[in-house]
Structure formats: structure tokens, C-alpha cells
């Protein structure tokens, strides 16, 4: 089996315009502030998640910034009124005293929250946005502004928080990125189609993407994802085989896949029951055949998304896929050595926004 090693570079948030070719962010210092936002769901019980998150951040040396009245559960399950959530997110993203913006939980609602921001120019000061699932809507806004962002667990769900999803995931790797201790992240990916299996050399690019359903709903909007010459990352939860194919077909028809450098599929099986996982695998095989015809390498790892594991994945920073056949022993330094075999694909991603260092 051939395994692909991927490297991502971590971000560096300095005062920079979104039009800059290299956007970086300065690491937080011990005691740094993290602003908690709740643009999505917030049913009964969310206040307890918020309090636990505040305590957890404090225990790990950070200061949680929380606006008064952040959580006021609504009839439809949202964390607060639409007006409150829209104003709060705008205030935070345009506040020059804010560096890190971390979503409390996902669910639904963030796509509507970003609407007042979609046609505004990027704030002068870049903010690092953290979260996944419905937070993808905010990642798409960051992509429109040219900002890097970090796909990672939301604050409420992790091994020491609520166990709804990501119950075996530590937030320490995220903290290490925020503090500048991690300059790049390395993962091992499984080649899923013949193009990936036969590919020679490396692909240098950037990763963009997130939750497939949220990205699908953004098509035709101001935050429609631009995927040309990018590595597209996708994950989702609870979508049966036919819905998976409908989403991927929509992506093809909307030309999202026309000029991508590669596709990474994260976890899609969480939330499925009975025969649904096996049906999804059949649908994936059909999708992989289509991508092979388009000459697009497709890679996979179930360690990104709604499963028990959800490792941090930087978006919009230098990334490299290395298809050159990595020795298995060397792969053990990777954070996710899960696919074994003499040939694998490495993924390296900058965790600072700086260019990747040359490898010997």
C-alpha cells in the first residue's frame, strides 16, 4: 500500500492585509486570551459546556474572553438570537484586541450569521478562527478574506470535555500550535484511488475546505469556496450514501473539483448505522472512479472530522503532499500513522503560515 505523508504549516497572525501573499500569526504567550464565540447551535445544557470550557482554558494557562449573555437557548436550538450572534461575530472579527476566535460548538446557524460580513473587506488585523462542522461557514469567510484558519475540535467536545464527538481527541496539539511550539504538523494519509497510488513526486499547495454539507450550501454565495490549485478537504456526519453522491455530484457540476490539486476525505461514517457504512463505501468507490477519470488524486484519513479523533488541520497555509514512498519506520514520527505499508504518502502543513522547511 502506498501512504501519503502530508505536512501543514502553522499560522502566524500578524497585522496584515488579506491580500498579502503570506499571512502569518504571532503565537500566544502563556496567559493569552481566547475569545469564545457561539454562532451555531446552543440548546439547553450549552451554558454548562461554556462554563466547563472557560475552566479548561484557565487550567491550561489561557484566559477565556466571553461576552455577557453569550448563551440564551432559542426555540429552534440556536445559541442566541440571530441579531445577537451576527453582531457578536462581527464585533469580534473587527476588534483589534482579539487574536484567537474559537467556536464553542457546531450544529447549525453559522451560515446565516456570516451574511452581514460577506461583502465587507477583511478587517485590518487577522484573527485565527478555530472549530469545525458548522464553523466551516466561518472558515469559508476566512478563505474569502485570504486568512488562514484552523480546522480542529470545537471547545465543548474533546477527551476532557463533552463526549458527543471527538471523545478521544486531546486539545494539547491545538494549544501547541497557538503557543508556537508546533511549527508544522505531519500526518499520514491513505491513497484512495489509482491516481494517488501511482502519483510520483510532491504536491505543494494549500488546504481549504471543511464540512461538505456546509460547503455545498455555500455554492452561489459570496463565500463560494475557490478550490483552483488547492487541496480540498472534506468531512461530514450522518449523510447516507445517496446524499454523499449528491453532494459530490453538485461539487462537480459547480466546477469545485475542476482544478483541485488533490482531495482529502476525512471521516464520513460517523453518525451512520446498520448497513449505511457499507453503502457509503460503495458510493465512495463510485466517486473515486469519477475522480480517477478527472486525474485527481484522492487521499483519506478518518482522523479528521466528527469521529473519535479530530486532529488540527491548518487551512490556507503552505502544505505539501509527498508521494515518494516513505519508509514505514520513518512514518512513526507522524501524528497519525494508521495506514501501514512500505509506500505511504506524507502530508506536511505549515502551522505558522511560514514556508515549509526543505527536507533532506
Q: Rounded to whole angstroms, how far apart are CA atoms 168 and 14?
A: 32
298-315 pLDDT, tens digit each: 999 999 999 999 999 999
178 in Cβ contact with 148 (< 8 Å): no
Cα-atom radius of gyration of the chain, to the nearest Å?
A: 19
48-80 pLDDT, tens digit each: 999 999 999 999 999 999 999 999 999 999 999
**Residue 33 buriedness (CB in 10 A; 0-12 / 13-18 / 19+):** middle
For 21, what's the count of Cα atoms within 13 Å in the CB-facing half-sphere? 2
- Range 124-140 burial, b when 16+ CB lie within 10 A, else e: ebbbbbbbbbbbbbbbb
At residue 324, the pLDDT reads 75
271-285 pLDDT, tens digit each: 999 999 999 999 999
Q: How far apart are the first and last CA of the chain?
A: 23
**Residues 6 or more apart from 21 whose CB is under 8 A from it?**
none
37-47 pLDDT, tens digit each: 999 999 999 99
Average pLDDT over residues 321-336: 44
Q: Hey, which bits of 87-183 come out as E strands?
A: 100-103, 128-131, 149-151
User: Across the strands, what pairs with 188?
Assistant: 5, 346
- Domain locations along the chain: 3-351
DSSP symbol at 312: -
C-alpha distances (whole Å) from 300 to each of 143, 223, 248, 328, 331 are 22, 25, 15, 18, 16
Task: Name the residue among 263, 264, 259, 273 with its Cα closest to residue 228.
Answer: 259
180-225 pLDDT, tens digit each: 999 999 999 999 999 999 998 899 999 999 999 999 999 999 999 9
User: Across the strands, what pairs with 4?
Assistant: 189, 345
- State which fold the 3-351 domain adopts: Glucose Oxidase; domain 1 (3.50.30)
249-269 pLDDT, tens digit each: 999 999 999 999 999 999 999
Q: Say if residue 19's pLDDT is above 50.
A: no
**Residue 338 buriedness (CB in 10 A; 0-12 / 13-18 / 19+):** middle
Residue 163, classed as helix, strand or coil, is coil
Q: What is the dihedral of CA 111, 115, 120, 126, to 10 degrees?
A: -30
354 in Cβ contact with 180 (< 8 Å): no
Q: Rounded to whole angstroms, how far apart are CA atoms 24 and 15?
A: 9
Residue whose entry in the numeric block shows the C-alpha cell 463565500: 223
162-176 pLDDT, tens digit each: 999 999 999 999 999
Whole-number mean pLDDT of the chain?
89
Which percentage of the chain shows pLDDT scores above 70? 87
At residue 22, the pLDDT reads 45
Task: Name the residue among 93, 81, 181 with its Cα closest to residue 129.
Answer: 93
Q: Which helix (H) or strand (E) holds 350?
A: strand 344-351
Amino acid at each position: 500500500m502506498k501512504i501519503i505523508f502530508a505536512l501543514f504549516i502553522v499560522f502566524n497572525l500578524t497585522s496584515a492585509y488579506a491580500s498579502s501573499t503570506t499571512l502569518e500569526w504571532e503565537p500566544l504567550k502563556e496567559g493569552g486570551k481566547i475569545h469564545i464565540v457561539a454562532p451555531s447551535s446552543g440548546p439547553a445544557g450549552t451554558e454548562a459546556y461554556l462554563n466547563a470550557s472557560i475552566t479548561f482554558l484557565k487550567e491550561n494557562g489561557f484566559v477565556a474572553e466571553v461576552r455577557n449573555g453569550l448563551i440564551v437557548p432559542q426555540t429552534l436550538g440556536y445559541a442566541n438570537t440571530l441579531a445577537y450572534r451576527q453582531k457578536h461575530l462581527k464585533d469580534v472579527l473587527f476588534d483589534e484586541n482579539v487574536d484567537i476566535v474559537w467556536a464553542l460548538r457546531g450544529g447549525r446557524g453559522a451560515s446565516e450569521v456570516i451574511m452581514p460580513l460577506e461583502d465587507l473587506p477583511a478587517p485590518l488585523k487577522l484573527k485565527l478562527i478555530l472549530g469545525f462542522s458548522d464553523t466551516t461557514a466561518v472558515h469559508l469567510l476566512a478563505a474569502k478574506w485570504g486568512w488562514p484558519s484552523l480546522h480542529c475540535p470545537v471547545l465543548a467536545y474533546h477527551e476532557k470535555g463533552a463526549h458527543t464527538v471527538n471523545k478521544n481527541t486531546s486539545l494539547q496539539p491545538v494549544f501547541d500550535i497557538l503557543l508556537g511550539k508546533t511549527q508544522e504538523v505531519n500526518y499520514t494519509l491513505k491513497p484512495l484511488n489509482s491516481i494517488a497510488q501511482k502519483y510520483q513526486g510532491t504536491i505543494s499547495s494549500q488546504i481549504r475546505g471543511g464540512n461538505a454539507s456546509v460547503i455545498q450550501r455555500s455554492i452561489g454565495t459570496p463565500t463560494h469556496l475557490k478550490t483552483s490549485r488547492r487541496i480540498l478537504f472534506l468531512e461530514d456526519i450522518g449523510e447516507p450514501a445517496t446524499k454523499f453522491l449528491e453532494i459530490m455530484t453538485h461539487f462537480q457540476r459547480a466546477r469545485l473539483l475542476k482544478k483541485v490539486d488533490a482531495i482529502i476525505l476525512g471521516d464520513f461514517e460517523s453518525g451512520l448505522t446498520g448497513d449505511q457504512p457499507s453503502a457509503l463505501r460503495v458510493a465512495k468507490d463510485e466517486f473515486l472512479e469519477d475522480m480517477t477519470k478527472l486525474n485527481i488524486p484522492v487521499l483519506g484519513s478518518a482522523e479528521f472530522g466528527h469521529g473519535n479523533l479530530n486532529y488540527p488541520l491548518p487551512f490556507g497555509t503552505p502544505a505539501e503532499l509527498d508521494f515518494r514512498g516513505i519508509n514505514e519506520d520513518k512514518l512513526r514520527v507522524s501524528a497519525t500513522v494508521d495506514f501501514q505499508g512500505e509506500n505511504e504518502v506524507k502530508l506536511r502543513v505549515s502551522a505558522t503560515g511560514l514556508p515549509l522547511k526543505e527536507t533532506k
